[in-house]
Structure 1
Amino acid sequence: MAADVRSDNQPYDDINITPMLDLAYVLLVTFIILTTASVQGVKVQSPRTQAAASLAKPQLRAITLTADGTLYLDAYPVANAQELGARLASYKAANPALPVVLKADARAPYQKVSEVLEALKRLDITEVGLVTQRAPAAG
């Protein structure tokens, strides 16, 4: 009988790590979901129109123009329209039908909007959407 008690008190040769791996996967998925949910881009005040339809396609590139004239491509700052064109050219090489959406602040300098549209035209990007807000109905 003393031999049976001794065998129960023997140290384990291996550790079952399955529960630890399950916990690690749950934490990883939670971290990924929370991180992607917190990325929202650059906040601007869009102009108001009656026909506000948003363009939503896969692999869509968003160009944002703030009120002070700062340019962003997918929430990353861009120095000028030439650099924007260079970055978009690499995306266009991967996807010839590259859809782009321009989200400009209503107070943004019109010259900057024109420069962005000219850069898109030079790259032959024809799928361009303009983000606006729906104006309140006049009535």
Structure 2
Amino acid sequence: MQVDGRRKVYNEINVTPMLDLAYVLLVIFILMATAQVAGIKVDLPKASSAVSLAQPETIAITVSNDGQIFMDAYPVTISDLEVRLRNAKASNPNVPIVLKGDQAAQYGKVTEVLDLLRQLDLNKVGLVTGKPATGG
């Protein structure tokens, strides 16, 4: 920019756009840090009443509709699941377990997981169901 034939020297930096960006990043960070991990989305069967085993250090085991097994949202094989459950039982013998099976899941996979839990003598097991359908 020229004023009277001379160039005007800017000796200050405009930090307003940088502060705007910093505030937006701060808001995004806060939202992402407080968001809860939902885990694996499955279509749960409906039940008339649901019991909650929501406790700290609850292990969530999910069987998807294609038969894949997840432990706390991480895919595992049945042998990996056994090792991890043995380790969890060693640290807490009464560890609560929540089993979610997709409505279209292979019945054999869910039974296999339940049988493994029985073999390991893990008896605080809850089956997760969806809310009952309302209407008439």
With normalisation by structure 2, the TM-score equals 0.73
Candidates 75, 79, 84, aligned match of 1:82: 79
The letter of the residue matching 2:65 is A
CA distance in 2, matches of 1:120, 1:36: 32
2:16 is the counterpart of 1:43: no
CA contact (8 A) 1:102 1:130 kept: yes
Q: Which stretches in structure 1 are left out of the alignment for 5+ residues?
A: 1-22
Instruction: Give the equivalent residue in structure 2 for 1:101.
Output: 98
The ranges of structure 1 where at least 4 consecutive aligned residues each deviate by more than 2 angstroms after the TM superposition are: 30-33, 136-139
CA distance in 1, matches of 2:102, 2:88: 24
**Deviating more after overlay: 46-55 vs 103-112:** 46-55
Give the 5 Å matches for 1:1-139: 31=29, 34-35=32-33, 37=35, 39-79=37-77, 81-137=78-134
Change (3 A) 1:120 1:33: farther
CA contact (8 A) 1:66 1:108 kept: yes
CA contact (8 A) 1:46 1:105 kept: yes
CA contact (8 A) 1:82 1:119 kept: no
Q: Offset of 1:137 from its aligned partner? A: 4.6
CA distance in 2, matches of 1:42, 1:84: 16
Instruction: Give the equivalent residue in structure 2 for 1:14.
Output: none
CA distance in 2, matches of 1:101, 1:87: 15
CA distance in 2, matches of 1:113, 1:51: 21
Instruction: Give the equivalent residue in structure 1 for 2:10.
Output: none
Q: Which stretches in structure 2 are left out of the alignment for 5+ residues?
A: 1-21
For residues 73-96 of structure 1, what are the alpha-carbon distances to aligned partners after superposition, in whole Å with 9 as ceiling and x for unaligned?
0000002x2221111110111111
Change (3 A) 1:32 1:97: farther
Change (3 A) 1:51 1:35: same
Change (3 A) 1:60 1:110: same
Q: Offset of 1:134 from its aligned partner? A: 2.1
Higher helix share: 1
The letter of the residue matching 2:110 is V
For residues 45-94 of structure 1, what are the alpha-carbon distances to aligned partners after superposition, in whole Å with 9 as ceiling and x for unaligned?
00001012222011100001000000000000002x22211111101111
